[in-house]
């Protein structure tokens, strides 16, 4: 399946005008380029396959949320690098569309994604990470509802590692992406500070988690294979069937996490 690629500043007058864009920030799933911090315990081929499962589960979860709110939300992939968009073919729901990322530093790319998606005619945008396949559907639903209320605000979904799995905006405010120590445990704290300094209302979603190393992979294994929710969870996580099936195929959690090294 080939997906539509949106062009910034060119709303088409149909479903892409109005509503909230739920945009997953994603690298094209090429081995050696995605989820490399999970190798070891996984091989690079396995990390790429797991990344595809994460994308499939996250986008199917979002597509189901959007289907419950016709016309009020739509799913997108904000992707990089340009030229690798074909690697998403067949792994996303039919309703999804693509839009290219631009910019160098991470904060620049987030701000540019917000600017470009809003310029396509959406009233609001949620930028969502591709590392959290079990985010509860209720978190996405809450983000859409909060951004639909009158008045300006920013919605933030904190991760338990000090980052965030979602940021939602009605305007492309630069402040949440400035003076942030990216890829550290203070990203969420500093983002909250920037939002409050700018005098913008801040709404927090339930805490969830990213899967980006062996320790958080163990949390995921416990949730999906052991029936053990994360200790901070206030909602039931999404079932993530593609990820769960892949983990079962890899073997038990003890076997998986016991691998001393990975081979590409």
pLDDT digit string, tens, across residues 158-200: 999 999 999 999 999 999 999 999 999 999 999 999 999 999 9
CA distances from 212 to 27, 184, 185, 221 (A): 14, 13, 13, 13
pTM: 0.93
Element containing residue 250 per DSSP (H, E):
helix 241-250
Cα 81 to Cα 17: distance, rounded to the nearest angstrom: 26
Indicate the length of the chain as a whole number. Answer: 264
| pLDDT band (50, 70, 90) for residue 9 | confident
pLDDT digit string, tens, across residues 57-91: 999 999 999 999 888 999 999 999 999 999 999 99
Least confident range of 12-26, 128-142, 182-196: 12-26
Instruction: Answer yes or no: are the C-beta atoms of 114 and 22 closer than 8 Å.
Output: no
| pLDDT band (50, 70, 90) for residue 12 | low
Instruction: Answer yes or no: are the C-beta atoms of 214 and 257 closer than 8 Å.
Output: yes
Residue percentage of the chain with pLDDT more than 90: 80
- Which CATH number applies to 20-257? 3.90.550.10
State both tokens at 43: 């091989």
């Amino acid at each position: 399946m080939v997906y539509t690629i949106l062009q910034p500043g060119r709303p088409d007058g149909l479903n892409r005008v109005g509503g909230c864009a739920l945009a997953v920030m994603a690298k094209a799933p090429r081995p050696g380029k995605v989820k490399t911090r999970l190798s070891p315990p996984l091989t690079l081929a396995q990390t790429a396959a797991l990344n595809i499962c994460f994308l499939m589960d996250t986008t199917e979860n979002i597509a189901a949320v959007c289907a419950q709110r016709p016309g009020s939300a739509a799913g997108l992939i904000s992707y990089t690098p340009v030229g690798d968009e074909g690697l998403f073919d067949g792994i996303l729901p039919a309703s999804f569309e693509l839009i290219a990322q631009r910019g160098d530093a991470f904060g620049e790319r987030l701000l540019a994604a917000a600017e470009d998606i809003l310029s396509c005619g959406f009233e609001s945008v949620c930028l969502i990470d591709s590392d959290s396949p079990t985010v509860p559907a209720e978190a996405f639903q809450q983000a859409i509802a909060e951004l639909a209320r009158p008045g300006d605000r920013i919605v933030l979904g904190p991760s338990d590692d000090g980052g965030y799995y979602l940021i939602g905006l009605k305007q492309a405010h630069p402040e949440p992406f400035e003076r942030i120590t990216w890829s550290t445990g203070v990203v969420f704290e500093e983002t909250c500070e920037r939002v409050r300094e700018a005098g913008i209302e801040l709404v927090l979603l339930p805490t969830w988690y990213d899967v980006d190393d062996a320790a958080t992979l163990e949390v995921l294994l416990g949730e999906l294979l052991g029936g053990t929710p994360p200790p901070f969870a206030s909602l039931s996580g999404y079932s993530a069937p593609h990820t769960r099936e892949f983990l079962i195929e890899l073997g038990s959690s003890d076997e998986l996490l016991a691998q001393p090294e990975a081979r590409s």
